[in-house]
Structure 1
Amino acid sequence: MKHITVLIAGRPYPLKIDVADEPAIRKIVKEVNEKINRFQLTYTNKDKQDCLSMALLTYAVDLHKAKTSGGNDPALSGKLFQLEALLDQVLD
């Protein structure tokens, strides 16, 4: 296990992860931050928390679609599973 700190929407979140998961987690964090930044550029009247919530909702919808479709896209299912695990770690 390895301890890392990731920044999501400018806030630090300490995580305890498997060393092998670090590249995927860092890639997901980057994608989440990019999605938050896109929402901030699109909705300039919304604060960072609103943009974070919209990004989370987008991923939750994608995860729901992947689960209900029977997981026909293994790459998407794997990515969403990793994102769900990251969110679980952040929220614990």
Structure 2
Amino acid sequence: MNNDDQLRIKISIADRIYPLTVSYSQEEALRSASKKIDTMIHQFEENYAVRDKQDVLAMCALQFASQTEQTTIDTSEGYNKALDRLLKLDEAIERILNK
């Protein structure tokens, strides 16, 4: 990726500014992610006794990581169920063709 394909942006997370150089295709996702993080920070601060921003950021990281893991688990389970159904269909077709 050359410099013509990159964009300099500033992302705000937990009242801190982070300058980044990203591809144009990444900009929207990064801005959306920073907004979600700030929303989650605000929710944690409103609902729990939070001592400092690091605690809140750790909880945000845990929540995002657990969502990713759950999606992986759900996808894997769905894949395994679909594969099992396809194998059963294949066996049924094989039985019909061998009659």
Q: Structure 2 length as normaliser, TM-score?
A: 0.64
The total of aligned residue pairs comes to: 72
Verify the 8 A CA contact 2:50 2:56 in the aligned structure 1. no
Unaligned runs of 5+ in 1: 73-92
> Structure 1 residue runs of 4+, over 3 Å off?
none
Unaligned runs of 5+ in 2: 1-5, 79-99
Identity of aligned residues (%): 31
Equivalent of 1:21, from 23, 26, 32? 26
Considering fraction of residues, name the structure with more helix.
Answer: 2
Q: CA RMSD in A?
A: 1.6
Larger Rg, first or second structure (1 or 2) = 2
Give the number of the structure with larger relative contact order, counting CA–CA contacts within 8 Å between residues 6 or more apart.
1
Name the residue aligned to 2:56: 51
- Higher deviation after alignment, 55-64 or 22-31: 22-31
> Structure 1 residues 47 and 19 mapped into 2: Cα distance closer, same or farther (>3 Å)?
same
Name the residue aligned to 2:72: 67
Q: Structure 1 length as normaliser, TM-score?
A: 0.68
Verify the 8 A CA contact 1:6 1:12 in the aligned structure 2. yes
